[in-house]
Amino acid sequence: MIRNRRVMVGALATGLAVGALAGTGVPARSAAAADRSRLPAILQRLTTDDGAPGALLEVRDRNGRTVLTSGVGDVRTGTPVPRDSAFRIGSVTKPFVATVVLQLVGEHRVALDAPVERYLPGVIRGHGNDGRRITVRQLLQHTSGLPDYLDYVTPQDILKDPLAHHDLRQMVDVAIAHRRVFKPGRDWKYSNTNYLVAGLLIESVTGHPYGDEIRRRIIEPLGLTSTSAPVDDPALPAPHPRGYVRPGEGAPLMDVTELNPSVAGPGGGMVSSASDLGRFMGALLDGRLLRPAELREMMRTRPTGNADGRAYGLGLESRPLPCGGLYWGHTGDMLGFETVTGATAGGRQATVMVNLDPGGSDAQDADMETAVQTALCDAP
């Protein structure tokens, strides 16, 4: 959801306790083949140099799973990060939303290259934003040119009343009150507004809230017991770490665990666990959620311009692995938590979470990516 955490820290500034490293887990023969000797050190760096109170990493494949934790889940009590933690996943919500849209494509209820106007007549209008010229595919791939509503909803606005309800349609209207970023299809720019509109599209086509469709189509069939798409519920299910932001350099941590997720909605409002995200990514790449044709469309990527070789499909990113090949996944930033999840076509999944966002070091993002890549590689 929140892409520029450093800028956000500065904005918040204008308006801890670190536990010993602990490794727990279910031994896994194949998962253990990864360069495990590096993983504890990376997690420890996240909870020392990078400033996060706690971190969790789960690696799984068809033979088992391993869970590593570092630091604390609660700076007040000093309790460790629960190994089966639930947490806010931010933009990792987007692969769930894209999967539902692509299931509707497979059911011939949505056409990828049809204009958004067909499903949401009159909703996208003004300042060069035009639903008659933006396709469903362009929404899911961030090539619509729609401005990002989070450029106009500030962190101060959210934290001033963290339990406030935010209406999905009104957040879209906040975005399209501003000039489009580029002509649809001409460029790529990440915009959370695209997935707010995708959520509205799901509701228009099915007659049900997008969260209900995610639950019916993904959560329940896969048995994801720690995963939900809450509308207004500000609480996290137990067990969970506390979520923190650091309002400025050297400032004390602020607890933002209780937060109304409607401010993120289908762009980043879901809750899950590392274990559930591993199962979801495994099922997605195995073809258990999408037919082959729709999965191929999801994995048709375009470059994003990032130096790390990242490419974006339909709600799914690909990135090169240092050991060769690539992995599929997504990153997620939500007030209090940052998540990176990834999986390979060979059946290995890894998810890392820290309970600080924004407010970590400049290296926090890179260290989280390194943790996932190291876990997914068979060799250093």
pLDDT digits (tens, 9 = 90+) for 38-88: 999 999 999 999 999 999 999 998 889 999 999 999 999 999 999 999 999
The more confidently predicted of residues 17 and 11 is: 11
Percent helix, strand and coil across the chain, each to the nearest 5: 35, 20, 45
pTM of the model: 0.92
Most confident range, picked from 114-123, 150-159, 304-313:
114-123
The Cα angle at residue 230 between residues 225 and 234, in degrees rounded to 5: 110
Residue type, 55: A
Closest CA relative to residue 276, chosen from 252, 323, 302, 240? 240
pLDDT tens per residue, range 266-277:
999 999 999 999
Q: Is 361 helix (H, G, I), strand (E, B) or coil?
A: coil
Closest CA relative to residue 358, chosen from 174, 154, 186? 154
Structure-block tokens of residue 218: 């993904």
pLDDT tens per residue, range 212-261:
999 999 999 999 999 999 999 999 999 999 999 998 888 899 999 999 99
φ, ψ (nearest 5 deg) of residue 237: -70, 150
**What is the set of active-site residues?**
91
Residue type, 228: S
pLDDT tier, 25 (very low <50, low <70, confident <90, very high otherwise): very low
Q: What is the pLDDT of residue 33?
A: 43
Structure-block tokens of residue 350: 């890894």
Q: Is 96 helix (H, G, I), strand (E, B) or coil?
A: helix
Closest CA relative to residue 374, chosen from 328, 299, 322? 322
Average pLDDT of every residue of the chain = 91
Percentage, residues of the chain above pLDDT 90: 84
> Any alpha helices (H) in the chain, and if so which ranges?
5-14, 39-46, 93-106, 136-141, 155-160, 168-176, 193-206, 210-214, 220-222, 274-285, 292-298, 364-376
Q: What is the pLDDT of residue 9?
A: 46
Question: In the predicted model, is pLDDT for residue 23 greater than 80?
Answer: no
To the nearest 10 degrees (0 to 180), the angle between helices 193-206 and 93-106 is: 40
- Residues 6 or more apart whose CB falls under 8 angstroms from that of 228 comprise 211, 215, 219, 237, 270, 271, 272
| Angstrom distance (rounded) from CA 170 to CA 267 | 14
The Cα angle at residue 92 between residues 87 and 95, in degrees rounded to 5: 140
